Structure 1
Amino acid sequence: MPSRSRLAACSLVAAIAATGCASLQSSDNFLGVVTPYRVEVVQGNVVTKEQAEAVKPGMSRTQVRDILGSPLLTDAFHADRWDYVFTIRRQGAEPQLRRIVARFDGETLKSLDTSSELPAERDFVASIDTFKTSRQSPPLALTDEQVKALPVPPKPPAPAAEPVGPTRSFPPLEPAR
């Protein structure tokens, strides 16, 4: 009988250990103290609302590539289609996935299809900013009260009087024509 109780005890310990390991893998920190490093994964091209608005039907492939960058996917079987896919997984920020399809008719753009609303550039930067502190930039202009509080600059010295004494004359650098 002692071996049966030993087997039950070992099974119980193994079950608790397995449960503990699974909970450690799914949590963001270890015992509430240590946060494991997670690799930031960025794939594809960031295409913002401003870039998509700059692309118009009738543009050439070169013009589209200049604005949006090289497509992530080009398919030999669908030569008239470019796929722009963007994914980002960053610790502390929501994962993002966007798909944009550029369809061509020969060498000219026929349409640009987006799977969802594209963010403006500022909105995109704000969505991936994971700093916990506020990083508001200071205003670049002074208020009227701040201008009044500035010290008065000293008056520039009076211009010197005409030089006293002989003046020097120099020969011309180039001969007269």
Structure 2
Amino acid sequence: MRCKTLTAAAVVLLIMTAGCSTLERVVYRPDINQGNYLVANDVAKIHTGMTQQQVAYTLGTPMMHDPFGKNVWYYVFRQELSREPVKQQTLTLTFDQNGTLTNIDNKPALNKTKVNLLFIQGPPLF
């Protein structure tokens, strides 16, 4: 009788603790990359006075346009690595009515000394 009680208690204890784990890293979390991947060398080629066609040729099509017009382009790259905080790089380009680049907003700036992307923290896209 005592053996059956111990066996039943062990089975119940095993079932109750089967879902518990102290190893958080066992669960696979894939890296998620979204948006326009910007390289410092390509961003360095952009300067005021360029046309929209020249910018699109250099950086590709923007991820977002200004919803109230076509004068502001947003190049957004968002990266979520498995165990790190979300990082976001945003490059905002403003054009005048003629389609000429007038303002480049990239804080902090991508520079050629960095091998990979330099990210800035930003608000969620959603």
| Residue equivalent to 1:55 | 46
**Are the equivalent residues in 1 in contact too, given 2:78–2:89 (CA < 8 A)?**
yes
Q: Identity across aligned pairs (percent)?
A: 24
Higher relative contact order (Cα pairs below 8 Å, separated by 6+ residues): 2
- Residue segments in structure 1 that go unaligned for 5+ positions in a row: 1-16, 25-29, 128-177
Residues 1:34 and 1:47: Cα distance change in structure 2 (over 3 Å): closer
**Runs ≥4 residues deviating over 6 A:** none
Q: Which amino acid aligns with 2:54?
A: Q
CA shift, 1:89, in A, is: 0.6
1:46 counterpart = 2:46: no
Partner of 2:107: 115
The answer to whether structure 1 residue 31 and structure 2 residue 25 are counterparts is no
Change over 3 Å in CA distance of 1:89–1:119 after alignment to 2: farther
Q: How far apart are residue 94 of structure 1 and its match?
A: 5.0
3-state SS, counterpart of residue 52 of structure 1: helix
Residue ranges of structure 2 left out of the alignment (5+ in a row): 1-15, 120-126
Larger helix percent: 1
Q: Does residue 84 of structure 1 match 2:70? A: no
What is the TM-score with the length of structure 2 in the denominator?
0.65
Q: Kindly tell me: are residues 122 and 93 of structure 1, through their superposed partners in 2, closer, same or farther at Cα, counting changes over 3 Å?
A: farther
Match of 2:88 in 1: 97
Q: Secondary structure at the match of 2:115?
A: helix
SS in structure 2 at match of 1:115:
coil
